[in-house]
Structure 1
Amino acid sequence: MHSQALIQPLSSPNATAELKTDNRTARITVPSSNPAPNDADVIVVGAGPAGSASAYYLASHGLDVLLLEKTSFPREKVCGDGLTPKSVKALIRMGIDTSPEAGWTHNKGLRVVAGDTQLSLDWPKLDDYPAYGLTRTRLDFDELLADRAVSAGARLLTEVNVTTPIFDRAGRVCGVEAVVGAEKRPATYTAPIVVSADGVSARMALALGIAKRDDRPLGVAVRRYYKSPAKHDDEYLESWLQLRSAANPNVLLPGYGWIFGLGDGRVNVGLGVLNSSTAFGKTNYRKLLTDWLSSTPEEWGMRDESQADGPIRGAGLPMGFNRVPHYSRGLVLVGDSGGMVNPFNGEGIAYAMESGEIAARFVADALAKPAGPRREAVLRQYPVELKREFGGYYRMGDIFVKLIGNPTVMRLCTEHGLHHPLLMRFVLKLLANLTDARGGDAMDKLINGLSKVAPAA
């Protein structure tokens, strides 16, 4: 971690100054005799990847943006910490330095492990994406994105826990109510449009009656950090398709696992279980993780005595647009709040950031028009664009999740697929959604064609 100064418990919106330290922008919030008003052009609820990307692009469009975060930075989040080239591209578009010198650990591709069979696949060389992936912990990853939003002109207020939207007389969202700081002081913030980037909880969407869809994929993931000199600098992200325990190696455990080297002596190790599995909701996921790790080589260090961050942590993975509509009555959903995790591989950060960029474009266009039907017509095009961009691909992901939930299908895929490198390179492109939009090879054309003809999710 870089050293920094950060003082942000708030009694009211305060003046924000910036201080350069160790090549980072530190935010120091100090009391002001002329505090910033509690209104804005747009309010963004949540400063995770979706919220900070939204705020960055909205501010870049010249809008006054309030970015409200319930915690303070740095702060931990449950995540695998592994980023594919799709996420790398989104970071670069926000102007973030992804070099090793800036604290990022680069990787060359994905190693797929199933029993005694392993296959290392380099990230594809494409015109549209960089040819490397990254790892970085969420402890300061989210703070980097929030700093970029601030640098673009967004006003970041931390320790502001948004509790509910507020509505105008027409029933349209026109702001939020919140409690601020440890003292939980009430506050109200107003804006003609609110962006919901509040993650899996989707508190804002629920207040408008936008419930999650039970016919879409859902996952649960748990993870822990371990000290592992043997694995921390692995050049590949590692995905385990078959999990077994040392106590009963002949029985397959449910779910899939990962091992991502962080380059600092630690690894992020975790597993996920999808709701297409019969074990979903019926399993002690934390015990499942330790059972699997008991079968890994002892020199890897993945035992309780080598854990590096305390208890095993878990989170939900809302997939395939499992919460719709993505716009309703002045509220725009981005990232996990709209169920935008990739069903194929559980990646959420890329889609959180991309949806934030798309949302910002439509919100900026809408606010350039007078309030009323013309503005609403623009905002209603946001979910249409999301479906065009991701809908067909997510629909294929829904089918994929159902198929691999069948143990027989999963066994056939792992036993036979890993022996065909060309097939697995196609699978890697499909699962990571890495294709060139124009041109590309035969694999790209096939995947892009299937995404276009598949019914939108």
Structure 2
Amino acid sequence: MGEQVETADVIVVGAGPGGASTAAYLAAHGLDVLLLEKASFPRDKICGDGLTPRAVRELISLGVPIREEDGWHRTKGLRILGGGVRMELDWPGNATFPPYGLVRTRMDLDEILARHAETRGTRLIERMNVSEPVLDHRGHICGVRAKVMGENGRPTGQTREFRAQVVVAADGNSSRLSLSMDRPKRDDRPMGVAVRTYYTTPRHDDDYIESWLELWAKGENGEQDVLMPGYGWIFPVGDGTANVGLGILDTAKDFGTFDYKDVMRRWVAGMPEEWEFGEETQIGPIRGAALPMCFNRQPLYDRGLLLVGDAGGMVNPFNGEGIAEAMEAGRHTAEVVASALARATPGEREAVLQSYPSVMKASLGGYYMLGKQFATLIGNPEIMRLAVRYGLPRKALMRLLLKIMANLPQERGGGLDDRIINALSRATPAA
């Protein structure tokens, strides 16, 4: 059985937000780009579906239409609940970030971004499950082999080979391509686990996404209420449903024994009645996914392979967001790769590609290391309890924390809080 060999300037493996953004920007730079996706669209991904203003900025930069009439639900800000306090904080719009967020299911979002990449000139090939790299005589990646998947999601028995000068791994947390190129995960970086499901609800078009800093469950048989591990969210989707989920960091003592289905069931059972969450309004099962944080797979570039999104552990440790960071990485990746491929010699090209880790660390590295310290702190339940009790009632402090946790400081200039956050990120060594 002979393999079909197809060539391009760049191969991007994985058509999630990071991969699709990378491909769209590369194509806009005039490069021939192959975007390989193992599933076929529309397809679902486990995620909170909430897009902060940082992610909205990336959608705008990419040129994706985000009109409300096209199905995007706009949010004004974040509603925080904890310690008996309920507080609404508007998104802090500034010269860098818009004053609103968006909610869109991953079922929709990923296809919108992949199709947008196609309009830019990307060649998207679905149902291509990349199984291994193709290496040259130096051990550098020069292509990939993929199993052709059938409509039933199973291998057809056919394989295809693709060749390119540069390969981008945007194939998610498990990133088979990264592992096959000797990029194991770092154990010194935080990891989260998130689970979510959908409910129909009359509050599907709420203007605020919700963050529950404490998950209380009603005590059974007259016992007092129980504080369960993790934090929760409600993201109104605007289509009659809400995305409801919860997460926990591996710095928490309950991480290994976390029965997420039980915690979710008990938390939802105690929710305010106006949401109408319950077994009869639940849509689909509760599903979970890992959240790799703080560049937990390194180096981000080596031997012809660049890592983007979850493949490079780019989830924000403060809030569990990964879409904005993946799309940012795609923008930076395209700039580095386009610059490299415009150079005359292999040595010059390699020198430019080698700059990618420092570009990403300059963008997010210091902030991630701040987040790593934060993740360690909130893993201690007593510290978290004190923070909720004494921090939440102070609105000015919470506005600052919102800006820190969603990484929304104005990049140049701005107010005192913007300058403090930027200074902290710059002063924290990236690693």
Alignment of 1:244-323 (within 5 A): 244-247=216-219, 250-308=225-283, 310-323=284-297
Equivalent residue of 2:239, what SS? Answer: coil
- The partner residue of 1:422 within 383, 396, 415 is 396
| Structure 2 partner of 1:327 | 301
Query: Do structure 1's residue 401 and structure 2's residue 375 form an aligned pair?
Result: yes
| Structure 1 partner of 2:153 | none
Task: Tell me the distance in 2 between the aligned counterparts of 1:115 and 1:158.
Answer: 47
Query: Do structure 1's residue 435 and structure 2's residue 409 form an aligned pair?
Result: yes
CA deviations on 1:191-233 (whole Å, 9 max, x unpaired) are: 111000001111111001111111101000000000111x211
- The partner residue of 2:320 within 346, 349, 358 is 346
Equivalent residue of 2:206, what SS? Answer: coil
CA deviations on 1:67-99 (whole Å, 9 max, x unpaired) are: 000011111110100000000000011111111
- The one-letter amino acid paired with 1:226 is Y
The answer to whether the 8 A contact 2:219-2:226 is kept is no
- The one-letter amino acid paired with 1:133 is G
Task: Tell me the distance in 2 between the aligned counterparts of 1:144 and 1:272.
Answer: 26
Q: Comparing 182-191 with 68-77, which one deviates more in the overlay? A: 182-191
Query: Do structure 1's residue 104 and structure 2's residue 72 form an aligned pair?
Result: yes
Structure 1: gaps (5+ residues)? 1-10, 14-36
Instruction: Using CA pairs under 8 Å that are at least 6 residues apart, name the structure with larger relative contact order, 1 or 2.
Output: 2
Structure 2: gaps (5+ residues)? 151-155
- The one-letter amino acid paired with 2:190 is P
Query: Do structure 1's residue 198 and structure 2's residue 171 form an aligned pair?
Result: yes
Query: Do structure 1's residue 376 and structure 2's residue 350 form an aligned pair?
Result: yes
Task: Tell me the distance in 2 between the aligned counterparts of 1:49 and 1:287.
Answer: 31
* CA displacement at 1:286 relative to structure 2: 1.7
* CA displacement at 1:371 relative to structure 2: 4.8
Query: Do structure 1's residue 389 and structure 2's residue 363 form an aligned pair?
Result: yes
Alignment of 1:63-142 (within 5 A): 63-142=31-110
CA deviations on 1:217-275 (whole Å, 9 max, x unpaired) are: 1000000000111x211110100000011235532110000001111211100000100
Alignment of 1:111-190 (within 5 A): 111-182=79-150, 183-190=156-163
RMSD across aligned positions (CA):
1.3
Equivalent residue of 1:281, what SS? Answer: helix
CA deviations on 1:4-39 (whole Å, 9 max, x unpaired) are: xxxxxxx998xxxxxxxxxxxxxxxxxxxxxxx611
* CA displacement at 1:372 relative to structure 2: 2.4
Query: Do structure 1's residue 235 and structure 2's residue 207 form an aligned pair?
Result: yes
* CA displacement at 1:165 relative to structure 2: 0.8
* CA displacement at 1:440 relative to structure 2: 0.4
Q: Please, what TM-score do these two structures have when normalized by structure 2? A: 0.96
CA deviations on 1:326-361 (whole Å, 9 max, x unpaired) are: 001000000110000000000100000000110111
- The one-letter amino acid paired with 2:123 is R
Alignment of 1:442-453 (within 5 A): 442-453=416-427
CA deviations on 1:359-383 (whole Å, 9 max, x unpaired) are: 1111111111245221111001000
| Structure 1 partner of 2:181 | 208
- Residue identity over aligned pairs, in percent, reads 54
- The one-letter amino acid paired with 1:293 is V
* CA displacement at 1:140 relative to structure 2: 1.3
* CA displacement at 1:147 relative to structure 2: 1.0
Equivalent residue of 1:302, what SS? Answer: coil
Task: Tell me the distance in 2 between the aligned counterparts of 1:167 and 1:311.
Answer: 41
Task: Tell me the distance in 2 between the aligned counterparts of 1:92 and 1:82.
Answer: 16
Task: Tell me the distance in 2 between the aligned counterparts of 1:265 and 1:373.
Answer: 55
Q: Please, what TM-score do these two structures have when normalized by structure 1? A: 0.90
- The one-letter amino acid paired with 1:349 is I
- The one-letter amino acid paired with 1:314 is G
Equivalent residue of 2:93, what SS? Answer: coil
- The one-letter amino acid paired with 1:234 is D
| Structure 2 partner of 1:336 | 310
Task: Tell me the distance in 2 between the aligned counterparts of 1:286 and 1:194.
Answer: 38
Task: Tell me the distance in 2 between the aligned counterparts of 1:172 and 1:113.
Answer: 50
Task: Tell me the distance in 1 between the aligned counterparts of 2:29 and 2:291.
Answer: 31
The answer to whether the 8 A contact 2:218-2:226 is kept is no
- The one-letter amino acid paired with 2:367 is Y
Task: Tell me the distance in 2 between the aligned counterparts of 1:349 and 1:446.
Answer: 25
Equivalent residue of 1:439, what SS? Answer: coil
4+ runs of 1 displaced by more than 4 Å? none
Task: Tell me the distance in 2 between the aligned counterparts of 1:450 and 1:116.
Answer: 31
* CA displacement at 1:115 relative to structure 2: 4.2
Task: Tell me the distance in 2 between the aligned counterparts of 1:331 and 1:339.
Answer: 15
